[in-house]
Structure formats: structure tokens, C-alpha cells
Amino acid sequence: MSAETETAVAERIEDQRALFECRLRAALTMEQDCLTVLQELEASARNAEVRRVLAGRAQETLRQLRNLEWAFRLLGKPPEACAAPATGGLVRLVREGVETLARSSSALQDGVALSAALSAEHYKVSAYQTLVVAAEAVGEPQIQALLQENLEHEQQTTRELAQAARLLACA
């Protein structure tokens, strides 16, 4: 984000509600970026179980996107994404890693895919923890419940991906 863009965003955020809405837009971008990453990782995975795990995570991400879109409806706002440099960077790193490992062993490539997905999930857990607190602070209990649901799914996903990575590493 350029210095001018950062200044413009900072000038629009004048209170907790504006900050919450900005974070909600960033979460929408985060989920869209993560869906892209998961689909690319699934396409590059060589192990059928790894592909299944990644496909399941992509389906879960679609459900989380629907929850975010519903949160925007509750706010009476269109679901608009905004710049999310952290997940944009993650997408670039995953693409570079997939290209670099294209000729590597299946186990190594699949291990990197699971590791990248796990990294994204940790980021998403952090984002949803912040959003749950922010929804409570601005008095949006329905949105808080949707975000809490997403948070719980992310925490479960983190456990599942870690388990899949352990199984792959021990195979």
C-alpha cells in the first residue's frame, strides 16, 4: 500500500466502528486470497489425502466467505474487499514455493503445501480473534456470532492440518 493510500485509509478511520468495518473488509480479502492459495495447493499436491484435506479446507473457506458476506448485510453495507498485504504476500510465497518444488519429491511438495496452508490458518485465527473482540466492542452480537463461528472453524482447521502434516512427516 502506498503512503498516500495509507494516509487516505487512516483519515477515514475515525472511530471503532470504522476500524471494525475496515478489518471486516480485510478479512473478506484474506478469505478470498486463502481460497486462491488452497485451490493452487490442492492442484499441486501429489498425495490423494493431502488433496482431500486441502479441498475440504477450500470448502470451509467458502462457508466463511458466506458468513462474512452475511455480516456485511447485517451492517447494511456491500461486501467490499480491501488491500490485505499479509495474505497477498502469502499468495506470492506459495506460488514461488510451488514453482520451486515442482520437480521435488511428492512428500516434500505435499509437506510444503500443508505447511503453507497451516501458516495461512494461523494468520486467520489471529484475524478472527481480533474481529470477535471488535464486533463485541461496537455492539454487533449477530456479527460477533458469525465471526466466532469462523474462528472456531479456523481453530479446528489448524488442528486438522497439523495432524495431516504430522502423518505425512511420519509416513
User: Which tens digits make up the pLDDT trace of 53-80?
Assistant: 999 999 999 999 999 999 999 999 999 9
Residue 2 pLDDT more than 50?
no
* Burial class of residue 21 (count of CB atoms within 10 Å of its CB; 0-12, 13-18, 19+): buried
Which position has the higher pLDDT, 33 or 87? 33
Distance CA 133, CA 139 (A): 10
Chain length of the chain: 171
| Residue 21: predicted pLDDT | 95
Residue 134 pLDDT more than 90?
yes
Measured at the CA of 58, the angle between CA 57 and CA 63, to 5 degrees, comes to: 95
Record the pTM.
0.86
Residue 3 pLDDT more than 50?
no
Give me 167's grid cell.
502423518
Q: What is the pLDDT of residues 99-121, one digit of tens each?
A: 766 666 677 778 888 888 888 88
Q: Mark residue 104 as left, alpha or beta (left: phi above 0; alpha: psi -120 to 50; beta: remaining).
A: beta
- Mean pLDDT over 150-156 rounds to 96
Percentage of the chain beyond pLDDT 90 is 51
- Mean pLDDT over 27-54 rounds to 90
Are 90 and 119 within 8 A, CB to CB?
A: yes
What is the CATH T-level fold of the domain 16-170, as seen in this structure? Answer: Ferritin (1.20.1260)
Residue 8 pLDDT grade (very low, low, confident, very high; cuts 50, 70, 90): very low
Which position has the higher pLDDT, 141 or 94? 141
Residue 5 pLDDT grade (very low, low, confident, very high; cuts 50, 70, 90): very low
Q: Calculate the CA 134 to chain-centre distance.
A: 18
| Residue 4: predicted pLDDT | 44
Write b or e for each residue in 131-151: b if 16 or more Cβ atoms lie within 10 A of its Cβ, otherwise e: bbebbeebebeebbebbbebb
| Residue 102: predicted pLDDT | 63
